[in-house]
Structure 1
């Protein structure tokens, strides 16, 4: 790349896009990278304030910003994504499916620490819809050393920084505990809420079983859904530390591995997550506290998209939710476009 006087630029090839701004009329590239300057272009360039312009000077050790942008995009783009055209060293990626955005945050940080290139994205573990923007990538200078892009490739070691996991058509069993509901003294309020949340992610409700406070009855109800082929069982009620709340015991008695009883999230501190192993599959069994029944958003809204996408949740994952784990219960709920649950 070299700088020359605009009046001497006829026949030269522009090495970058040149934006023209006419207030109220346009703000876009008037001349694109690769354009061969003509006599007629000179007055236009001068009217844009370009007394001097940069033209391409071949250097085998450098990439133009758009060439480098293609490499950076290739490190990010994965299945279920579509990309924009490259423009001024920038490419954006969008989702093509309903699913869960996953990010290798350590790798993202290392790429961004390289300098001369950047990737800005949504938060990881965010539910996305078709057409939702996932990230934007950009090369900062007009040209960049090839060795810098090669270093970015080496950092990735063939891995992609981003992935979108589509939601799966899971079969879900509902078990509602509590003698007051079992005997018809109180109307069940959990069922409609859980049904709506599961179906939002494409799940199928196998059915709902109401049990009394005896843990053996709840355990049997859970196992019956698993025998019916349930991919997940949601157990609601009886999740506090009161002596007569036996749901955690009932879940443990299935033989499931309890990942965590408790999560640093409000609402939802008494949430329980476990996995039951069957035929090589890990079937989530959750214990849902009462807040899921009446609060707009709880820990269940943070975990459910991951379960519906078959994305394993660990205790370490749940522990991270404390940062941003306080729902502000806004009058108008904007979740997931807010800070709630962005800690992981």
Structure 2
């Protein structure tokens, strides 16, 4: 068990925990590590950071130290897509090994945070992450933790059908764009969709097959989409013509080609009029004008998901309303 003693009485005793020194705006780091044998010369250093008492350990055979517990749980949830840093002050930092889609089991995460004295903090699930980015942290709350707590975590994690944490890599994908609108096709205004999309694509393993500009007729849109599918496109994006105006015929064209329509409309703003469908395994999306003007839209939320090989259903799309307001 832990016992508190005055630092003046601690000479010759081993520290039960790391002692951190903080200089606001300049430095935060370990002054003395766990296990350090306190010497007389250390007393003034400890007092200078406000440590008039420290913990020493009596009879700890049956309890886990915070660093050992964090290291053990990190190993338990390890995955090839993740790097686990060495624990510091009972905390393990988790980083992505490669670019991809960050996935968490939210129900298991809630269970773990309700039932144990370990805190699991993560990035929001189904979001794009880059290699080397921190995606999660596992922190032991007490300095020493009962083995029963560790066993409870082990039971939850081992019962999972899929990993608690993972980064699903993006798949190389051939993408084509069909831009609609008589005003663009006739040269009255300059197309802005193509540049906006290509700027986004640099962050993914996307092969740009090309862009075709057509008018507002459904047959022309269908013909252009079909041509790209025959060329091997794995994703066809139809831009413009996604509102309820009589000349906006993109949704009808997508429906004509699709073997499955997931949704026309999302609870994500900007981009509520986005459409997601499939022609067998080929992704079909209809993109409204917000893609040109807004940095993050429904399209930006959906793109990493479908590029990771996940096929959203209506329930998943509906769930994006929580946290789906980006303006």
Same-fold call, TM cutoff 0.5:
yes
Relative to the length of structure 1, the TM-score reads: 0.83
CA distance in 2, matches of 1:216, 1:21: 68
Q: Which 5+ residue runs of structure 1 have no aligned equivalent?
A: 329-344
Deviation digits for residues 256-295 of structure 1 (CA, Å, limit 9, x no counterpart): 3100011122322211101221xxxx22100111222333
SS in 2 for 1:241: coil
Aligned to 2:113: 112
Contact preservation (8 Å) 2:258, 2:284: no
Deviation for aligned residue 1:68? 0.7
Aligned to 2:71: 70
| Residues 60, 287 of structure 1: alpha-carbon distance in 2 compared, 3 angstrom cutoff | same
CA distance in 2, matches of 1:133, 1:110: 22
Aligned to 1:85: 86
Q: Which 5+ residue runs of structure 2 have no aligned equivalent?
A: none
Aligned residue pair count: 324
Relative to the length of structure 2, the TM-score reads: 0.87
Contact preservation (8 Å) 2:116, 2:153: no
Structure 2 residue 248 is the aligned partner of structure 1 residue 245: yes
Aligned to 1:139: 140
Aligned to 2:62: 61
Structure 2 residue 178 is the aligned partner of structure 1 residue 179: no
- Larger deviation, residues 210-219 vs 260-269: 210-219
SS in 2 for 1:248: helix
Deviation for aligned residue 1:64? 0.9
SS in 2 for 1:310: coil
Deviation digits for residues 307-344 of structure 1 (CA, Å, limit 9, x no counterpart): 2222322222221233333332xxxxxxxxxxxxxxxx
Aligned to 1:97: 98
- Of the three residues 193, 197, 216, the one matched with 2:196 is 193
RMSD between aligned residues: 2.6
Aligned to 1:202: 205
Structure 2 residue 228 is the aligned partner of structure 1 residue 219: no
SS in 1 for 2:115: coil
Structure 2 residue 319 is the aligned partner of structure 1 residue 297: no
Deviation for aligned residue 1:86? 1.0
Aligned to 2:314: 315
CA distance in 2, matches of 1:22, 1:244: 64
Contact preservation (8 Å) 1:75, 1:160: no
| Residues 25, 297 of structure 1: alpha-carbon distance in 2 compared, 3 angstrom cutoff | closer
